[in-house]
Amino acid sequence: MNRTDRLSAILILLQTKKIVKASDIAERFEISLRTVYRDIKALDEAGVPIGAEAGVGYYLVEGYHLPPVMFTPEEAGSLLIAGKLVQYFSDESVRQNFNMASDKIKSVLPEGHQEFLGEMEQHVHVFHTPAEKSEIFTNNFLTRVQKAISAKKCIALNYFSQYRKEDTCRIVEPIGLCFYGFKWHLIAYCQLRRDYRDFRLDRVKSLEIDAQTISSKAGISISDYFSYHWNEEDLMQVTVRFDKSISRNIANSKYYFGFYEEEQYQNEIIMRFAVNDIEYMGN
């Protein structure tokens, strides 16, 4: 990326966030902090009103807006691919919002770019087997969960515990959303269990944003949560026997749960996992 393109990209980045750290800019564009400082100075000298907070980061002065951004065909193509994935790896609430956002973007593209997207639309597909399609995203809670996280509000949910084979009503303090094993998961502090839990969204029967504000218990990050559960200390061996006909359904997700070996027989597969939380494994 040449410097002119980088300056434009930094300006766009500043417009997308309230404040941006110099280290984040350096990492994003793979440049040194010294280069970041020079680029910020260049934008300031060009008349862009950039503010700075010592030890915090840079921001655009309130009231400053860029003119509408034009996409290159390659950038528009990347949005097309993202849209294809959204159709299969999100719920209806996200799909509707993405489609509306996509239509707004397409409406301001030059005619040539629109023709490019129309052509690519016919040549990019994401396929699932019938079994996979029937299992994915049976509710519309993703957007509601995002709102709760942003507002720092608790969530009231009715959840089916696969481990206990029962429905429970819970108040949870959301930490974040995570996608793995072809499922969306809500990571949250559960007030009922008084511990952090991983809730598969396809097992949630109902979900509402609660008036209660989250406590400091929800202050950890998703990375902190998984670092704890993937800690190598106090690991237990779990052996699971699968019918061979369904083993392919977990072929892509088994590694998330500490899989380390398997034995194949005529009609079944025995898999072994190393875990430090048996309920997390059962989930």
Q: What percentage of residues in the chain have a pLDDT greater than 70?
A: 86
179-183, 228-232, 250-254 — which is least confidently predicted?
228-232
Indicate which CATH number applies to the domain containing 48: 1.10.10.10
Position 66 in a domain: no
Position 133 in a domain: no
- Shared domain check, 164 and 212: yes
Beta strands in the chain (DSSP E): 50-53, 57-60, 153-161, 166-180, 183-190, 195-200, 204-213, 236-243, 259-264, 268-275
Its pTM stands at: 0.63
Q: Which residues contact 129 (CB under 8 A, 6 or more apart)?
A: none
- Shared domain check, 200 and 217: yes
- Shared domain check, 270 and 193: no
- Shared domain check, 96 and 148: no
State which of 229, 248, 263 marks the end of a domain.
229
Q: What is the pLDDT of residues 47-87, one digit of tens each?
A: 899 999 988 999 998 877 766 667 888 888 898 899 988 88
- Shared domain check, 218 and 247: no
Q: What is the pLDDT of residue 138?
A: 61
Q: What is the pLDDT of residue 88?
A: 83
Q: What is the pLDDT of residue 122?
A: 85
Contacts by 45-52, CB closer than 8 A, 24 or more apart: 48/11, 50/14
Indicate which CATH number applies to the domain containing 170: 2.30.30
Position 174 in a domain: yes
Domain that holds residue 154: 142-229
DSSP three-state, residue 218:
helix
The pLDDT confidence band at residue 129, using thresholds 50, 70 and 90, is low
Position 136 in a domain: no
Residue pair 163/217 in contact (Cβ under 8 Å)? The answer is no
* Number of compact structural domains in the chain: 4
Position 128 in a domain: no
Q: What is the pLDDT of residue 134?
A: 47
pLDDT of residue 221 exceeding 90 = no
